[in-house]
Amino acid sequence: MIAHSDSERALKSQRMVLELLQSDMPEPDYTLKNELDRWSKFVDLGKPRFQSRTEPPADLSHPAIAVNLAACIQCTRCVRACRDVQNNDVIGYAYRGARALPVFDLDDPMGDSSCVACGECVQACPTGTLMPSNGMGLIKPDKQVEPVCLYCGVGCLLTYHIKDNKILHVEGRDGPSNHNRLCVKGRYGYDYVHHKGRLTKPLIRRDDAPKDKVGIDAVDPNDPYTLFREATGEEALDKAAGGLRKIRDQHGSSALAGFGCAKGSNEEAYLFQKLVRVGFGTNNVDHCTRLCHSTSVAALMEMIGSGAVSNQVEDVANSEVMIVISANPTENHPVAATFIKNAAHTPGKTLIVMDPKGNPLVRHGHYYLQFKADSDIAVLNAMMQTIIEEGLTDNEFIATRTTGFDELKEHLKDYMPEKIAPICGIPAETIREVARMYAKAKASIIFWGMGISQHVHGTDSARGDLAVSHLGPDRPPRHGPASAARPEQRARGLGFRPDPDVLPRLRKC
């Protein structure tokens, strides 16, 4: 079929549709970027000839989002953004004919609905029907700044729209981990930037400031100037660098150390370790990832030879089976969770959520294994036992790339699902079903979270996740000598070696 979009009839229809839509547009603008106005101008449309409908009232019940349905053109982009992109299922399309309009839950005020304020609908709306509250979208920014969101490790890219050095509103940018999506924290959690309690000038401790506890306790906590005085940036930097240099020169490099923060970007982390290694002259540098995920790092180092995760979250798009165990990405890493949810709703893919207490991802899962608290290792071992017993292992991979498999096999003999079922509370047949599914899939991925790593036996639990992933599905051809395992890895029994081409599909979150 050949469709002519610029025939006389097509152009007439386009103008008519635009004119009908324009006739319902309210007088005030709600956005500076009205797509309807742009296209009307493009076809040189004048004042519409038709009478306007009765305008629905504004819904200003939400603290962050203003809803002016008077400007709605029923394009349903907001419905798609809410349901298909973010999988929040709050916005629906209700009523019929001329009354049709987007609604929140059961046509509730937005502020009373189950909206999680991700703002995806605001970003999608072409007419300003959904906009940042308080008319922020109508103020012309004088500049844009493009940072990385500081709240969690997903690393979403943002654009701050700024006027007079105040953030007006935020939009998502197309970054590798967010593809324009944001969550409530990245999109609306910026007011702290302008909080009156923030330091806006460098402060240096006053020479006459008390140094003992009694003196410090007596100081007014709301008045920093009793302890500090204002300084210029140069003076503060000189003072800090001078102090560090003095310690290094007097006591040696090992008297200094640096501990990096997860809120820093990769580039900042790189610069920080450079400062410590080159400036301080010591390798005493660490990062908080190795604190909260120290167990994961230990297991990863031991079993694949690298402490880093092997995959992007969005690799769920390439997986048939996804296991999320003891992690709550919907609340902790909301944008990453949207990609998991998208995959879970893709035909042919299976999401298995394993968690003793449940989380919002469960409603998107095909399986929910609510094992009893503290029985995660037993469940993972029972899954491994099933995979080995039923001959679902990738024997060539095991023979050429792992050590200690026979010991593992022997150890797992005690972990028949039928024996583990009463311990973990999951029926044996379900454990077997899930293990088979994971092992037979063309590609599988495991995500684990703090429920695994911040546990008294977190390293063992992470080892279990890693071991299941190694026994899993058929892999593409592998390369590299089997002897690549380090001796200390082999000595510890389960020395799986890293393979850059086929690193197991794992992620801790």
* Smallest distance from ligand SF4 to CB 186, Å: 2
Does position 260 bind ligand SF4 by CB under 6 A? no
**Which segment (122-130, 314-322, 353-361, 377-385) binds ligand SF4 by CB under 6 A?**
122-130
- Cβ closest to ligand SF4, residue 55 vs residue 374: 55
Does position 124 bind ligand SF4 by CB under 6 A? yes
Q: What is the 3-state secondary structure (H, E, C) of 298-341?
A: HHHHHHHCCCCCCCCHHHHHHCCEEEEECCCHHHHCHHHHHHHH
Of the candidates 63, 62, 116, 59, the residue with the CA atom closest to the CA atom of residue 86? 116
List b or e across 58-71, with b for residues whose CB sees 16 or more CB atoms inside 10 angstroms.
ebeebebbbbbbbb
Q: Cα(453)–Cα(447) distance, rounded to whole angstroms?
A: 12
Site for ligand SF4 in 212-251 (CB under 6 A): none
Number of Cβ within a 10 Å radius of residue 78: 24
Number of Cβ within a 10 Å radius of residue 242: 10
Question: What single letter denotes the amino acid at residue 323?
Answer: I
Cα→Cα distances 397→402, 417, 474, Å: 7, 25, 9
Q: Cα(201)–Cα(440) distance, rounded to whole angstroms?
A: 60
Does position 508 bind ligand SF4 by CB under 6 A? no
* Smallest distance from ligand SF4 to CB 461, Å: 24
Q: Which of 31, 102, 446, 470 binds ligand SF4 (CB under 6 A)?
A: 102
Does position 127 bind ligand SF4 by CB under 6 A? yes
DSSP state of 57: P
- Cβ closest to ligand SF4, residue 127 vs residue 350: 127
Does position 167 bind ligand SF4 by CB under 6 A? no
Q: Which of 66, 103, 183, 321 binds ligand SF4 (CB under 6 A)?
A: 183
Number of Cβ within a 10 Å radius of residue 42: 10
**Which segment (255-263, 296-304, 330-338, 498-506) binds ligand SF4 by CB under 6 A?**
330-338
Q: Cα(190)–Cα(194) distance, rounded to whole angstroms?
A: 8
Does position 475 bind ligand SF4 by CB under 6 A? no
Site for ligand SF4 in 476-505 (CB under 6 A): none
Q: Which of 65, 66, 73, 285 binds ligand SF4 (CB under 6 A)?
A: 73
Q: Cα(470)–Cα(465) distance, rounded to whole angstroms?
A: 9
Question: What single letter denotes the amino acid at residue 135?
Answer: G
Q: Which of 21, 72, 303, 426 binds ligand SF4 (CB under 6 A)?
A: 72
* Smallest distance from ligand SF4 to CB 117, Å: 11
Q: Which of 70, 335, 379, 398 binds ligand SF4 (CB under 6 A)?
A: 335
Pairing mode of beta strands 158-163, 143-145: antiparallel
Token code pair at residue 247: 């310690």
- Cβ closest to ligand SF4, residue 130 vs residue 437: 130
Does position 321 bind ligand SF4 by CB under 6 A? no
- Cβ closest to ligand SF4, residue 157 vs residue 441: 157
Does position 130 bind ligand SF4 by CB under 6 A? yes
**Which segment (21-29, 109-117, 144-152, 399-407) binds ligand SF4 by CB under 6 A?**
144-152
Of the candidates 160, 177, 151, the residue with the CA atom closest to the CA atom of residue 331? 151
Does position 185 bind ligand SF4 by CB under 6 A? yes
**Which segment (72-80, 194-202, 237-245, 462-470) binds ligand SF4 by CB under 6 A?**
72-80
* Smallest distance from ligand SF4 to CB 127, Å: 5
- Cβ closest to ligand SF4, residue 119 vs residue 417: 119
Q: Is 376 in contact with 349 (CB distance < 8 Å)?
A: no
**Which segment (52-60, 134-142, 154-162, 242-250) binds ligand SF4 by CB under 6 A?**
154-162
- Cβ closest to ligand SF4, residue 186 vs residue 458: 186
Does position 156 bind ligand SF4 by CB under 6 A? yes
Looking up tokens 């890293």 gives 498
Number of Cβ within a 10 Å radius of residue 258: 18
Token code pair at residue 475: 């892999």
Instruction: Tell me how many residues contact ligand SF4 (CB under 6 A).
Output: 28
Q: Which of 182, 327, 388, 462 binds ligand SF4 (CB under 6 A)?
A: 182
Taking CB atoms, the residue at the shortest distance from ligand SF4 is: 186
Of the candidates 6, 122, 127, the residue with the CA atom closest to the CA atom of residue 75? 127
List beta partners, residue 351: 322
- First vs last C-alpha separation in the chain: 48
Does position 507 bind ligand SF4 by CB under 6 A? no
List beta partners, residue 163: 166
Residue span 401-420 as binding mask against ligand SF4, x where in contact by CB under 6 A, dash where not: --------------------
Token code pair at residue 185: 């924290």
Q: Cα(301)–Cα(217) distance, rounded to whole angstroms?
A: 45
- Cβ closest to ligand SF4, residue 87 vs residue 129: 129
Token code pair at residue 276: 């410590």
Looking up tokens 């695994």 gives 452
Does position 154 bind ligand SF4 by CB under 6 A? yes
Does position 149 bind ligand SF4 by CB under 6 A? yes
Chain residues that interact with ligand SF4, rule: CB under 6 A: 72-78, 102, 124-127, 129-130, 149, 151-152, 154-156, 178, 182-183, 185-186, 333-335
